[in-house]
Chain A
């Protein structure tokens, strides 16, 4: 699968020796990894290994006590989450974080907000430029997101009323509205049924491979079938430390990884939860 993906070349995101502790809990201890432009990079590990903490450090919700994160050659340390978003880092959450009372379309539009240029006044009066901008954004949303993720039939529905699997899709749609170059996916398959998992995997491959998108992805996921299927490379965390990284085949053959998953050894090889 990954072989026919886009060209993978320079390092897009570099995580260098980051440490993160909460009180006495060492959530991350000197984790380092490199994500290259155009790849799907997965982070796996047992519960509590620090996977979500890592994502939170990358998009700025947490500030690591030590270490450096650079994105497209730029140090992220001083940037707040919304500034990182403007640079092109989007994410979805393990627990869905959508505005439940708003429609699907409005939620996606909100993800687009960061790219709106018109000011409050021209927006309110809906003058020439503002109207034109609105139309352009709407076209982008319809053509490149709603059609791609197959959610045309629910665009006017209120998010809170939708099935869980569809809400997950809407969350991905909102992340795409940022027009990101890197997207952090925190357990996008959790709680989905078999068919929905297959759909979601298809969508992730699409945003990674479609010439229009070519988004790099960091995927945190427990569904080993999906991870091994669609990742180009992956890293394994255990108790805040990276114990292995490499291609899916290399990682599966690594004795330390099997050790970390001891008792869960089957989970690593099982195709489905």
Chain B
């Protein structure tokens, strides 16, 4: 397959006149049929799409949307998995001068309704039947919505609502228009200006209603340019697009950086096949939120637990060698020759195979951002030989303001500001940033905009500091920072990420602000703990039952005690419960990007909090569970409170100030 790797991207400067569609046109005409723009795995094979085809598809959809009456500045809501057609619809919206509003594919009907209504979207593009059903259900409460377009014909027989139109029909209308007005598309694109809004992304909101951040072409282009200046990608690189387009990180890679560098986008076959598809592509660049990396580590840990003793020992040895090398590199000490040789052997025996299984055999730059990733996880990836770097930023600054540089990664920092980006710490500790990527404001929310945007400085709501080497350290969300019994400040997210390094713990929620001691509510990992229970011949029927088994309690207590050993006394977790269910975004416990909604959790699990601090042995809990189709079930469970054994004095609090700042929290 012609990959067209020898072609270089066209040289270019980000002028006020440049827009995403203009760059798209330049790039697509530059490569034409000589290079693959994207691939989609369909019917078991990777189907290539060249830049010329990409351009033609977008042109047809653009002119089709024009025929439907869409005008400059109109909003188009988009819901769907990562497929070429959905990206074409977004690009077409931008070519027409419209604003793309991405929604999370798994959003419940109320969330979809809120965003479609609030954004005044005139057209909604859904992938298939599921999205069409959602759209039909909200049409009466979204008066601005005029048309619903769909792509995948599966299950669409029997739908004949006049609101609906297939993307194929839209393209056909576009081709008719093209025959009449062959230069209309180019003229539409030429009308665009850099300071026009092109993206409206709703931030998930850990406490309040979602807020819609308005981003301009210049915001996105400058971000892509800065990113590519730090870690250049080339047309020969591959990237796998599998994270929600509604997440700024995916927009960053698939839109900004993708156009800037001209790398090939790869779309997996189904959500279930993502892991295998990534392994087949073996991308050079990856950007994922921490949960993806946490899952990879957990997969490895589980396989190791299951492996025969010899393999297990080889793994432990190789990982140990890798970690010793990584630690030396982190602290910029030289690696002695003997260790270097051992690292080679370890790589040959174990580590390169691990990389291959994680789909990272060709990885050059792996990024994580959007929430806190624990130092243990970061250390693991560097030990295995994956150059994992932290990104810090928010949707409001087009996703990125601070980034680790190659060879200068510290596991408790997020690195240095990007070019053209200033970062400073306000007197109260809040992280402020300013760059050409700072957004225009929140849609229809002047008050919130004024609070967030002052004199061009973006107020992040995160607390942090600059360390001696100039690295930014992100402590936590300001409203989340805990003041412990001894008066020291501590980050719950940091404790949670440390807990999550245990393969048995999927999620954790740490409490302790203004209280006598630190406690936690833990969600066990059903797969891993279930397997462990089977091996131990412990019978169970459900997640709830498994979580309350005394043996499982002891297992988690051991994991908690392990984390405690590295913590100052005041921050140690004294008591915890295993919750009877996993946290779920459908229950409002997490945001769509899987961040804890603490205020809501305090409300919902009030009995648990009281039990943890009231000295109870067992917490009686009445609970409701919302199923995916919206049904609600009520039940009552008893949760056992487990007290963690006291151990000797750990590191003194003063000795580990950086500990408290291990994680990274952003709203990205």
| Residues of A bordering B, CB below 8 Å | 4, 139, 142-143, 146-148, 150, 152-153, 155, 202, 206, 209-211
Contacting pair B43 A210 (CB below 8 A)? no
Contacting pair B43 A146 (CB below 8 A)? yes
Which of B74-82, B268-276, B473-481 has 4 or more CB atoms under 8 Å from chain A?
Answer: B268-276
4 nearest A-B residue pairs (beta carbon): A142-B43, A153-B272, A153-B273, A4-B158
Given the known inter-chain contacts A148-B154, A209-B158, please indicate yes or no for A155 contacting B44, CB distance below 8 A: yes
Given the known inter-chain contacts A152-B273, A153-B270, A153-B273, please indicate yes or no for A147 contacting B155, CB distance below 8 A: no
A154 closest partner in B (C-beta):
B272
Can you list 18 residue pairs at the A/B interface with Cβ under 8 Å?
Answer: A4-B157, A4-B158, A139-B43, A143-B43, A146-B43, A146-B44, A147-B43, A152-B44, A152-B269, A152-B270, A152-B272, A153-B269, A153-B272, A153-B273, A202-B155, A206-B155, A209-B157, A209-B158
- Complexed CA–CA distance, A209 and B44 (Å): 25
Query: Of B43, B269, B273, which is in contact with the most chain A CB atoms at under 10 Å from its CB?
Result: B43
- Complexed CA–CA distance, A146 and B273 (Å): 13
Query: Which of the four size classes fits the interface of chain B?
Result: 10 to 19
Contacting pair A211 B270 (CB below 8 A)? no
Q: Which residues of A contact B155 (CB under 8 A)?
A: 202, 206
Partner of B44, one of A142, A148, A206, A210: A142
- Complexed CA–CA distance, A50 and B402 (Å): 72
- Main secondary structure on B side of the interface with A: loop
- Complexed CA–CA distance, A4 and B272 (Å): 32
Contacting pair B157 A211 (CB below 8 A)? yes
A3 closest partner in B (C-beta):
B158
Quote the shortest CB–CB distance from A152 to chain B (angstroms). Answer: 5
Q: Which residues of A contact B269 (CB under 8 A)?
A: 152-153
Q: Which residues of A contact B158 (CB under 8 A)?
A: 4, 209
Quote the shortest CB–CB distance from A156 to chain B (angstroms). Answer: 9
Query: Of A139, A153, A155, which is in contact with the most chain B CB atoms at under 10 Å from its CB?
Result: A153
- Complexed CA–CA distance, A210 and B155 (Å): 8
- Complexed CA–CA distance, A218 and B39 (Å): 41
A155 closest partner in B (C-beta):
B44
- Complexed CA–CA distance, A139 and B155 (Å): 21
Q: Which residues of B contact A148 (CB under 8 A)?
A: 154
Query: Of B154, B157, B272, which is in contact with the most chain A CB atoms at under 10 Å from its CB?
Result: B157
Contacting pair A210 B157 (CB below 8 A)? yes
- Complexed CA–CA distance, A226 and B327 (Å): 61
B272 closest partner in A (C-beta):
A153
Q: Which residues of B contact A150 (CB under 8 A)?
A: 270
- Complexed CA–CA distance, A142 and B270 (Å): 13
Per-residue CB contact flags for chain B residues 128-170 toward chain A (1 = under 8 Å, else 0) read 0000000000000000000000000011011000000000000
- Complexed CA–CA distance, A139 and B157 (Å): 23
- Complexed CA–CA distance, A150 and B152 (Å): 13
Q: Which residues of A contact B270 (CB under 8 A)?
A: 150, 152-153
- Complexed CA–CA distance, A76 and B174 (Å): 53
Q: Which residues of A contact B44 (CB under 8 A)?
A: 142, 146, 152, 155
Quote the shortest CB–CB distance from A155 to chain B (angstroms). Answer: 7
Q: Which residues of A contact B154 (CB under 8 A)?
A: 147-148
- Complexed CA–CA distance, A153 and B154 (Å): 17
B276 closest partner in A (C-beta):
A153
- Complexed CA–CA distance, A106 and B157 (Å): 30
Q: Which residues of A contact B272 (CB under 8 A)?
A: 152-153
Extra contacts, 13 of them, besides A152-B272, A152-B273, A209-B158 (Cβ < 8 A), are: A4-B157, A4-B158, A139-B43, A142-B43, A147-B154, A148-B154, A150-B270, A152-B270, A153-B269, A153-B270, A155-B44, A202-B155, A206-B155
- Complexed CA–CA distance, A206 and B157 (Å): 9
A206 closest partner in B (C-beta):
B155
Quote the shortest CB–CB distance from B132 to chain A (angstroms). Answer: 15
Q: Which residues of A contact B157 (CB under 8 A)?
A: 4, 209-211
- Complexed CA–CA distance, A209 and B157 (Å): 8
- Complexed CA–CA distance, A147 and B157 (Å): 16
A210 closest partner in B (C-beta):
B157
A209 closest partner in B (C-beta):
B157
Quote the shortest CB–CB distance from B47 to chain A (angstroms). Answer: 12
Q: Which residues of B contact A210 (CB under 8 A)?
A: 157
Q: Which residues of B contact A209 (CB under 8 A)?
A: 157-158
B160 closest partner in A (C-beta):
A4
Q: Which residues of B contact A152 (CB under 8 A)?
A: 44, 269-270, 272-273
Quote the shortest CB–CB distance from A230 to chain B (angstroms). Answer: 14
Quote the shortest CB–CB distance from A100 to chain B (angstroms). Answer: 22
User: For chain B residues 261-297, which have a beta carbon within 8 Å of chain A?
Assistant: 269-270, 272-273
Quote the shortest CB–CB distance from B632 to chain A (angstroms). Answer: 16
- Complexed CA–CA distance, A202 and B44 (Å): 23
Q: Which residues of B contact A4 (CB under 8 A)?
A: 157-158
- Complexed CA–CA distance, A45 and B157 (Å): 32
- Complexed CA–CA distance, A148 and B154 (Å): 8
- Complexed CA–CA distance, A152 and B273 (Å): 8
Quote the shortest CB–CB distance from A273 to chain B (angstroms). Answer: 19
Query: Of A143, A152, A202, A211, which is in contact with the most chain B CB atoms at under 10 Å from its CB?
Result: A152
- Complexed CA–CA distance, A148 and B270 (Å): 13
- Complexed CA–CA distance, A58 and B75 (Å): 58
B152 closest partner in A (C-beta):
A147
Q: Which residues of B contact A143 (CB under 8 A)?
A: 43
Quote the shortest CB–CB distance from A166 to chain B (angstroms). Answer: 11
- Complexed CA–CA distance, A192 and B269 (Å): 26
- Complexed CA–CA distance, A152 and B43 (Å): 8
Quote the shortest CB–CB distance from A108 to chain B (angstroms). Answer: 12
